[in-house]
A and B are shown apart, each in its own frame.
Chain A
Amino acid sequence: MLSTLAIQALTGLASASSLFLVASGLSVIFGVTRVVNFAHGSLCMLGAYLGWSVLSRLPHDPASFAAGVVMASLGVALFGAALEATLLRRLYRAPALLQLLATFAVLLVMQDGVQHIWGPADLPLPRGVWLRSFVPLLGERFPFYDLILIAIGPLVLLALWMVMARTRFGVLLRAATENRDMLSALGVDERFLFTAVFALGAGLAGLGGALSLPENSANLGIDLRVVTDAFVVVVVGGMGSIAGAYLAAVLVGVMQAMGILLLPKASLVLVFVLMALVLVLRPQGVLGQKQTQENDGERFHRVRAAPPWQRIAGLAVVLLALAVGLAGGDFARSVLEEMAIAVLFAASLHVLLGPGGMISFGHAAWFGIGAYAVALTTSTLAAPLPLALLAGVLAAGAVAAIVGLVLVRLSGVSLAMLTLAFAQIAWAVATQWSEVTGGDDGILGIWPPSGLGARLFFLLCLCLSVGGVLLLRRALFAPFGYALRASRDAASRAAASGIDGAKLRLAAFALAGAAAGLAGGLSTFSKGSVFPGSLAIFRSVDALAMVLLGGVQSMVGPVVGALAYTGLFDTLLLASDYWRALLGITLLALILWRPQGLVK
């Protein structure tokens, strides 16, 4: 048994190396530019594809392999530099969330771009004899290539450390990570430094991608899988800390491998539990520096009630939806229901992002919990529809309140990452606890009772969504919302005036969670089913995109954003095979054109 554990640990160490390469790149980029690069997994994927193209043309000996891997890595570094110089550079002054959304758009474009160039099929790299060889170890056959991977991790760590400690570039890097103002004091050309850092990070990601080729074919799923793992590693290790990234990568790699041996059914959830634990106990990560950023110069704009023309327009939209939904066919209704649900979902996130001043990467959690609660109460308890919806609202609100107890103690990126961790835990549970949730098969057949009829359900859906949004709006314009906003605008001023920001934010979490749960519950009935996808990271990003597209400054923003985004999404999804790229490009255009959102 002991030798089995040792073999498994070594296997974990091997995967830790690729993970470390990718995560260290993410960490360096974040440390210097403060950009949370969602497209980092895509850079890794690009490395894998470039590596495949190069390596499958080269002879299968170790020297050619090394040369090919380096070429792929350099190619990705160049690509990263170009990406920084053409796009991200324009966004450094934008709010952090908008940068995240922009890099998400890059992810979408790169998905389709890679698919366009290399095709949708997985590309396994033909393995030369040396890549297939093994060494006898503890009575087992251990892949020789895994040993190489195990060695590469510390080597790259050492190389990075030398660069950091011994070169001027490294000094500047550290200076920028620790104290940004110092940079300009040192008279450094920030632009060059940022481009170089992005190239370095991208090159590391590309290296990780190319090195994973002998074990994993180049495929279109790499980007998302890698980026979530890399987030975990960076958060656990400490944002900006390279040694921390190595430590965390080893921890995560070994834990995953052990999980497969000891807890095969819970393998997905483990890493996110680790991430959540670290964030709760040590928000800055194991080796991270404490970030002191009370309020990173964000400008808050005056919040006013919507002017009359906007109210009339809103009423007109609702009436139009009503007319089209009642007169139109099933499909029109399903599209409208989806839009109504999206509006409520986006509005609930707005409560956190806007007045709450809390970045949430994991809003899908509440949507999904509501959706599953409705499905489960309906399928196992045969609860009638109103009770099921109530259960969805209460379940999501209650879990949000409980998790909120931990969440409200954090702020900024740590908070965002903890919400992400929690959503991923919920997603992993939905995916792997198949006895209850049905796993990837989801829960089917949760249609509204046939007595209700499609039109009546549509009416109900519209009423509850619009009503939910209006209720949220009322709360935000009531003393509660003002106090919440006061605490966001000036936390210490509010506290000195006796406003308990933490408690208010907790309530905001519960409120937003409950509203998102209602949206999720309605979506279960509207689609007749629920799947783990309702909790997935994509869903959270959808919500972010809606709110940011519309603008966080007012309640109208998320509503407009939700309508625009769903409409855009539906149109593109049905219009083109390249809908991802089109969506990404449209998002980028909107971000550059209107960084404050469509509604100012």
Chain B
Amino acid sequence: MSLNRRTLLATTGAALTAGALRPAFAAAAAPIRIGEINSYTAIPAFTLPYRKGMELAVAQINADGGVLGRPLELLVRDDAGKPDDTLRLAAELVGEQKVDVLAGGYLSNVGLALSDFALQNKRLFVAGEPLTDALVWQKGNRYTYRLRPSTYMQALMLVEEAAKLPAKTWATVAPNYEYGTSTVKWFKQLLLARRPDVKFVADQLPPLGKIDAGAVVAAIEQAKPQAIFNVTFGADLTNFVRQGNTRGLFDGRAVVSVLSGEPEYLEALGDEAPSDWIVTGYPVVGVTDKANTDFIAAYKAKFNEAPKMGSVVGYSLIKSIAAGIAKSKSTDQDAMAAGFAGAHFATPFGDAMWRAQDHQSTLGTYVGRTALKDGHGVMVNWRYVDGASALPSDDMVKTLRPAG
């Protein structure tokens, strides 16, 4: 069976990396293998563009001579959104495929499971999308790095806007798992610190992917909040917005919403995309700076479609890994675990780095408002918030991160 599996995997592996490998490398230069696990079937809206972003970065890096003179090779696995399956795949990638770096994750619980696996097996794990703070703080460990702005950072960015609103009573709705609960926790804590007069009058925690939107909207409506903080995304968000629109939940209410400005989620809403929500996201049609437009052009040239937020994350993830390995000058696990810290890397959103104190990258995101334009949701009045500016002080990080 083992032999059978290996041959099968060799074929899929080759297929995945066919575009990435270039004849420019000496036959002796063994590729650096990145084993990537993500929720390709569970969250396709995000992860499919994400995969393309990774492929673009691998192609670019290999065209430029690779890392440490070796090409990058990407092995991709689908965890179907299940942490149990993830661990099985991680063991296979590490044990059978001998990957040098583990990367990936979308859901926060999956990310935490991988991070725990990394610590136990002393393997480097670079998380792209999982947003929970626990990944770098409470449960942070020396083998785990995380790219995207965390729940704390996103909440902080949004609280700055939320605190300016007159609303005194708030309702929250969030998917019932680590990402949802963590974001709500920070939002409440940070908003109350700025606005002690604010009250939270309803909390809905529908199970991820299974929101009973009509009932949830009616339940929030009956609490009569002045503003709503939304953390749902994907299909849950679509259903929530539709019921909310019909039932008038958003009329005359401010809505602050995490990630909803990302094209993958706005697009699914079509002409029912809400107006004037305060969101984090990616104004892909609006950005004009060189880093962004170069990336968008290269992405369009390769895939013939506009990038989404997932594309940016996938692309930046590979870039950050390449930079980390280059700085570590080795693919030894402990060398990389130490060497990634402080590495700088280029992203479509500009330069970013791996913070040494908590292994969080300083990649930021955009904050703005939603609007409806030609029957599609877009982000307007946006500004880029650098991750570095939304991170707590070193002292606070020390108390938050027992692993040091």
Indicate whether A and B interact: yes
The 8 A CB mask of A11-43 against B (1 = contact, 0 = none) is: 110110000000000000000000000000000
- Is B215 at the interface (CB under 8 A from chain A)? yes
Assuming the A-B contacts A570-B5, A575-B8, are A124 and B268 also in contact, with contact meaning beta carbons closer than 8 angstroms in the complex?
Answer: yes
Q: Interface with B: A79-87, A196-204, A256-264, A277-285, which one?
A: A256-264
- A533 near B5 (CB under 8 angstroms)? no
Residues on A with C-beta less than 8 A from B94 are: 330-331
Residues on A with C-beta less than 8 A from B45 are: 121-122
- A260 near B1 (CB under 8 angstroms)? no
- B215 near A577 (CB under 8 angstroms)? no
- B177 near A132 (CB under 8 angstroms)? no
Assuming the A-B contacts A14-B214, A529-B87, are A134 and B207 also in contact, with contact meaning beta carbons closer than 8 angstroms in the complex?
Answer: no
- Is B351 at the interface (CB under 8 A from chain A)? no
Of chain A, the residue at the smallest CB distance from B9 is A574
The 8 A CB mask of A422-466 against B (1 = contact, 0 = none) is: 000000000110100001111011010000000000000000000
Chain A residues touching B, range? 35 or more
- B239 near A260 (CB under 8 angstroms)? no
A127 to B215, CA, bound (A): 19
- Is A170 at the interface (CB under 8 A from chain B)? no
Of chain B, the residue at the smallest CB distance from A124 is B238
- A567 near B222 (CB under 8 angstroms)? no
- Is A594 at the interface (CB under 8 A from chain B)? no
Of chain A, the residue at the smallest CB distance from B139 is A444
The B156-214 residues at the A interface (CB cut-off 8 A) are 176-178, 181, 203-210, 212-214
Which of A7, A134, A265, A567 gathers the greatest number of chain B CB atoms within 10 Å? A7
- Is A64 at the interface (CB under 8 A from chain B)? no
Assuming the A-B contacts A134-B246, A140-B221, A225-B210, are A256 and B48 also in contact, with contact meaning beta carbons closer than 8 angstroms in the complex?
Answer: no
- A122 near B234 (CB under 8 angstroms)? yes
Of chain B, the residue at the smallest CB distance from A112 is B41
Assuming the A-B contacts A220-B41, A264-B219, A571-B1, are A11 and B113 also in contact, with contact meaning beta carbons closer than 8 angstroms in the complex?
Answer: no
Point out the residue from A219, A256, A264, A329 that lies within 8 Å of B204, measured CB to CB.
Answer: A264
Residues on A with C-beta less than 8 A from B276 are: none
Q: Interface with A: B22-30, B116-124, B144-152, which one?
A: B116-124
| Secondary structure class of chain B's binding surface, majority of residues | helix
- A529 near B222 (CB under 8 angstroms)? no
Point out the residue from A142, A221, A444, A571 that lies within 8 Å of B5, measured CB to CB.
Answer: A571
- Is A528 at the interface (CB under 8 A from chain B)? yes
Point out the residue from A127, A264, A444 that lies within 8 Å of B272, measured CB to CB.
Answer: A127
Which of B48, B176, B209, B234 gathers the greatest number of chain A CB atoms within 10 Å? B176
Residues on A with C-beta less than 8 A from B221 are: 140
- B87 near A528 (CB under 8 angstroms)? yes
The 8 A CB mask of B45-59 against A (1 = contact, 0 = none) is: 100100000000000
- B246 near A143 (CB under 8 angstroms)? yes
A574 to B245, CA, bound (A): 43
- Is B277 at the interface (CB under 8 A from chain A)? no
Pick the 7 closest A-B CB pairs, nearest first. Answer: A331-B95, A120-B44, A440-B177, A4-B222, A575-B8, A257-B215, A260-B215
B residues neighboring A (CB under 8 Å): 1-2, 4-5, 8-9, 12, 40-41, 44-45, 48, 78, 82-85, 87-89, 91-92, 94-96, 108-109, 112-113, 116-117, 119-121, 139, 176-178, 181, 203-210, 212-216, 218-219, 221-222, 234-235, 238-239, 242-243, 245-248, 268-272
